[in-house]
Amino acid sequence: MEKNMFIRILNSEMELATGCTEPGAVALTAAEAGSALRRAGANTVEEVLVSASVNIIKNAMSAGIPGTSYEGMDYAAAIGAVGGEPVHLLEVMNYVAPEQVEQAAALVKAGKVKVEVAQVPQKLYVDVTVKGEGHTGRAVVRDLHTNVVLVQQDGETTLDKTNAAAQSPDGRDLVPPEEIAAFLTVKSIWDYCTEELDPLHDPIDIIRSAVKVNTAISEEGLSKEYGLAIGRNLELNCRKGLMTRDLTTNAMIIASAGADARMAGAPVSVVANSGSGNQGITATMPVVAAARWLDIDEEKMLRAVTLSNLIAIRIKSKFGRLSNLCGATVAGTGAACGITYLLGGGYHEICCAIQNMVGNVTGMVCDGAKADCALKISTCVNAACQAAAMGTRGIRVQSTDGIIEDNVEYTLDNFATLSTHGTSDKVILDLMLNKHLPEAE
């Protein structure tokens, strides 16, 4: 039964998504509201009001919209409201016709899409009201990116799950974060991945999909200039002799290239981890890159990728879906464990790698989803490879230093406490929204 629980958790916390998941959640909420508006009898969207939590706004305001030249949650909301079909969930913007995208863009440019901060306790909260032809539609997503808890049509409630446990609209078996946190430990994850898991025959299709799908978006990111083109520029540095193409640099290139494409809105899917596509890329691709560099067989590679993703899920179960710390630090910690295993390390060595990661990149704040997420990912992947190399030799940051404890589980709990009670998201958002205007030359 315990073996089945690991598979349940993987299927609960890993899913297919296109583009940044926060604009995706905004678009899905708007699509539900727009559908309610159309059921009320209106054919034209005239106004869109979005009320969202600080974390949603922070992560959606600069992210690229898949398949378009637009970015930001106002465009995501308008596109979802005008032409989104909720059945497509986080890929909802993929299926909106080009002419509807332009209709949505016209609404934004006309100032008909308003965004405000919702005064709610939830870190993941989106409330969208769509108006048109004297009718209204409203929808609310809360706690999980696809968890629609309320739909209203002209003020009349047609769906109310505000008092129910979070559910997935696609029928996936969702495991509550409290249950995940109580079940997963670093030791139990290690034992499962190295002893109980049969990678070639067990139903870990989501892990195989993560390898295949996230490899595809990494290749897409290397194929053209997306965003800051961190992956392509790292590769260029190697060709110019400024850097050496080794295991570490190769892992940085492959992981950051995927984030380049994703944050620029490339219409290519990813397999997300804990609600984040970037975390899915970071927990998967450095491990895949290392396995291929080391000529590791598929069975051991799948064990390592599973190990990495489960470690990331274990940490995130206490962090929350959205946090003030960069998710690449979490996924990078998972990758450090997977790479340590590929380098021949055992349980003690992966614990050392975790201590090294928490001692290194813990303080990296999340200041929204945007092009330079790929830069942060490259930094965390570099740190993961260094942590793995140190850990494999039994070298670790000591419990006398910083927030590191002797027991790795306590260290990760401290990491989560810093995420939930450390740097204020409100302070970060205030800085993002009140930047100084460029001075006239």
Domain membership of residue 413 (yes or no) is: yes
Domain membership of residue 170 (yes or no) is: no
* Nearest alpha carbon to residue 192 among 368, 5, 407, 419: 5
Domain membership of residue 2 (yes or no) is: no
The pLDDT, as a whole number, for residue 273 is 95
- Of 133, 160, 187, the one marking the end of a domain is 160
Is 125 found in the same domain as 96?
yes
Ranges of the chain with pLDDT below 50: 441
Q: Which residue type is seen at 15?
A: E
Domain membership of residue 5 (yes or no) is: no
Domain membership of residue 4 (yes or no) is: no
Domain membership of residue 277 (yes or no) is: yes
Q: Tell how strand 125-132 and strand 148-153 pair up.
A: unpaired
Q: At 155, give phi and psi (nearest 5°).
A: 85, -10
Element (H, E) at 51: strand 47-52
Is 251 found in the same domain as 123?
no
Domain membership of residue 168 (yes or no) is: no
Is 84 found in the same domain as 214?
no
The pLDDT, as a whole number, for residue 330 is 96
First and final C-alpha spacing in the chain: 68
Is 410 found in the same domain as 314?
yes
Is 224 found in the same domain as 188?
yes
Domain membership of residue 200 (yes or no) is: yes
| CA separation for the pair 332, 113 (Å, rounded) | 36
Query: pTM here?
Result: 0.85
Element (H, E) at 18: strand 14-18
DSSP letter at 71 equals: B
User: What domain range is 35 assigned to?
Assistant: 19-160
Is 229 found in the same domain as 126?
no
- Of 160, 190, 213, the one marking the end of a domain is 160
Which residues are CB-neighbours of 290 under 8 A, at least 6 positions away? Answer: 247, 251, 296, 304, 338, 339, 342, 343, 385
- Of 160, 190, 214, the one marking the end of a domain is 160
Is 188 found in the same domain as 139?
no
> Which CATH number belongs to the domain containing residue 197 in this structure?
1.10.4100.10
Is 287 found in the same domain as 375?
yes
Q: At 39, give phi and psi (nearest 5°).
A: -65, -30
The pLDDT, as a whole number, for residue 149 is 94
Structurally, how many domains does the chain consist of? Answer: 2
* Nearest alpha carbon to residue 5 among 146, 176, 168: 176
Is 254 found in the same domain as 397?
yes
Look up residue 126 and give its two tokens. 């989106």
Is 271 found in the same domain as 203?
yes
Element (H, E) at 132: strand 125-132
The pLDDT, as a whole number, for residue 332 is 98
For residue 157, the cross-strand partners are 152
Is 342 found in the same domain as 285?
yes
| CA separation for the pair 336, 385 (Å, rounded) | 6
DSSP letter at 163 equals: T
The pLDDT, as a whole number, for residue 402 is 85
Is 89 found in the same domain as 32?
yes
> Which CATH number belongs to the domain containing residue 75 in this structure?
3.30.1330
